[in-house]
Structure 1
Amino acid sequence: MNSNPSLIFHLNSELLEGPVFDHKENLLYFVSILDCLVFCYNPYNREILSVKLDSPVSCIFLLDKKRVMVASKNGFFEVDFNTLQKQFSFQIDIANSVRYNDGIKDPEGRFLIGTMGFPEVKDNIGKVYSYSEGKSKVIIKDTTISNGLAFSQDGCSLYFIDTPTKKVAKYAYDMKTGAVLFESYVIKFNGEGSPDGMCMDKEGMLWIAEWGGGCVSRWNPISGKKIDERKLPCLNVTSCCIDNQLNLYVTTAKSSKDDMNGGGLFYVELN
């Protein structure tokens, strides 16, 4: 089933990523990784605010009203969109040859975040970290392009994408300790697209952005079957999130200099 996605925002960015929807405040956050920019979008009045950091940014964690934690290569910064101010918060001990990529908060408030090679992607040098109360630990090792992270509705399972594997892995998640245990690969991509960012909907299904596939696709993580697909007018689709109307915001990246739509933020109506 196809729909006509609406272009919400286009700054001619090379790589938009990390959309996160604040359901309480009805605000969307996303980043332009290589421009070092963090954005806050208000769907009601279409206001877009931005704050620039001093190194590539990757993902956003919600704190409270118009305040977020943003991961950048040079560390984690609190960004306040009430004042457009930023303040360094903490850094995890990561190698100079990597940067942060996708992340998510667990139900207990821990920051989970993966790394990947930068400026050059290299096999198996990435890790997924868990950070809480000043301490970090590695929970997944030997990844290449650490991408989508999503929790099951009961919080007992963590789904994770290492993009070059073209698979979605499922881990048992211990809420008390934050430890993970690999269980199985639950989804496998056989087409042109590779899985990138993802989110879970209210029915427990996974919406997955397809890098090189020009779409977002919906999957049942129990059966491993694809159950829906929505095309985008560009090849590299990076991530997605669901708003209060149960529709999708989708970020994209350029596939070439001639790609006029890549690097835009799109809205896909599901309902």
Structure 2
Amino acid sequence: MTGGDKEDGVADGLEIAVRERAELGEGPTWDPVAERLVWVDILSSRVHLFDPATGRRTVLPTEQHVGAAKPRRDGGLVVNLRDGVGLYDPDGTFRWLRREVVRGRRGNDAAVAPDGALWAGTMRYDERTGGGTLSRVAPDGAALTVLPEVTVSNGLGWSPDGRALYFIDTPTRRIDVFTVAEDGGVTGRRVLVDTAGLSGFPDGMTVDADGCLWAAFWDGGALRRFTPEGVLDRTVELPVSRATACAFGGGGLTDLYVSTARVGVDPRAEPLAGSLLVLPGLGHGLPQPPFAG
């Protein structure tokens, strides 16, 4: 890898946070209370916990494929599993919050809204068009299906003022935006960005303190930042083709962590595929709320 212009090219200072062979690394999230990064390997059914200050790593096996894991308000994790949404207590005890078994379908990306609800996506293993959903799961487990016909439910993020929700259904190659109502619901879906002219497919994303959207591009080997108006204003190339998601972490939320996948990748050509990467000092992130359940 060669150093490049930070405005366009491989970012100087790219580091390997965790050298790993994750099949499908996904969903990095900073836990400010525990001061650690939470991320998952979906196909290996593992939740990874990483403390960048000490280098300590912990792996929590799950009984099912796990699409996302997010911190809870009172400790522990909420997880988006194959058969629904579950809870891990701080002592490791597991229980289902909402179980909904649909053969051939699994949980995928998820995010916590400013009001503490979990927005959880699903997809078919065969990626059948319209076979997935996007649902809002309340702290008590009550769920509302917001989008009933999603193909690969992926990136989610809210604007700094909480008035806009951004969403990616990966095969559409779009980033859509909704208006958030007072009750936390959404209306007025429209296309913010059409990425069809760019390499790869938008996957996971995060929103920074300036309200810009950072999206990881599957088979695109890059992170791309878009302004709140949908204008591409920055590209950061990566030494892996399958970047899956990104999130700001560290004490000042200035380090951008990137999850990657090695499924379908030649490891000889991409030895870092599956590792957790980090771009120190790339910007400023927003504090992510914990799940209120």
Normalising by the residue count of structure 2, what TM-score does the alignment of the two structures yield? 0.86
- Counterpart of 1:187 in structure 2 is 193
Q: 1:262 aligns with which of 261, 273, 279?
A: 273
- Partner of 2:162, secondary structure, is coil
Counterpart of 2:180 in structure 1 is: 173
Aligned residue in 1 for 2:152: 145
Aligned to 2:16: 7
Gap change, CA 1:51 and 1:247, over 3 Å in 2: same
Q: Which residue of 1 aligns with 2:166?
A: 159
2:29 corresponding residue in structure 1? 20
How far the C-alpha of 1:66 sits from its partner, in A, is 5.4
Q: Which has the higher contact order (CA 8 A, sep 6+)?
A: 2
Change (3 A) 1:7 1:66: farther
Q: When you count strand as a share of all residues, which structure comes out higher?
A: 1
Corresponding residue for 2:215?
A: 208
Please tell me whether residue 53 in structure 1 is matched to residue 59 in structure 2.
Answer: no
Mapped contact 2:84–2:101 kept (Cα < 8 A): no
Aligned length: 266
> Is the 8 Å Cα contact of residues 187 and 221 (structure 1) preserved in structure 2?
no
Aligned to 2:257, what secondary structure does the other structure show?
Answer: strand
Per-residue CA distance 1:82-107 (angstroms, 9 max, x = gap): 64x24113224352221111111111
Is 1:234 aligned to residue 240 of structure 2?
yes
Query: Using the alignment, how far apart are the partners of 1:62 and 1:149 within structure 2?
Result: 16
> Are residues 1:121 and 2:132 paired?
no
The answer to which of 7-16 and 201-210 deviates more is 7-16
Distance of aligned partners of 1:86 and 1:53 in 2 relative to their CA distance in 1, 3 Å threshold: farther
Q: How far does residue 14 in structure 1 lie from its aligned partner after superposition?
A: 1.2
CA–CA distance in structure 2, aligned partners of residues 129 and 58 of structure 1: 14
Runs of 5+ consecutive residues of structure 1 not aligned to the other structure: none
- Superposed CA RMSD: 1.7
Question: Compared with structure 1, are the counterparts of its residues 149 and 245 closer, same or farther at alpha carbon in structure 2 (3 Å cutoff)?
Answer: closer
Distance 2:129 2:88 in 1: 32
- SS of 1:139's equivalent? strand
Residue 65 to residue 228, structure 1, CA distance change in 2 (3 Å)? farther
Whether the 8 Å contact between 2:83 and 2:99 is mirrored in structure 1 is no
In the TM superposition, residue 108 of structure 1 has moved relative to its aligned partner by: 1.4
Question: Could you say which residue in structure 2 is the equivalent of 1:253?
Answer: 261
Task: Say which SS state the counterpart of residue 178 (structure 2) adopts.
Answer: strand
Question: Aligned AA for 2:255?
Answer: N
Partners in 1 of 2:182 and 2:271 — Cα distance?
A: 44
Q: Which stretches of structure 1, 4 residues or longer, exceed 3 Å deviation after superposition?
A: none
What letter matches 1:169 in structure 2? D
Query: Is the Cα–Cα contact under 8 Å of residues 252 and 263 in structure 1 kept in the other structure?
Result: yes
Task: Flag structure 2 segments of 5+ consecutive residues without an equivalent.
Answer: 1-6, 284-293
Deviation sequence 1:118-163 (CA, Å, 0-9, x none): 2x21111111011112311110121111100001111121100000
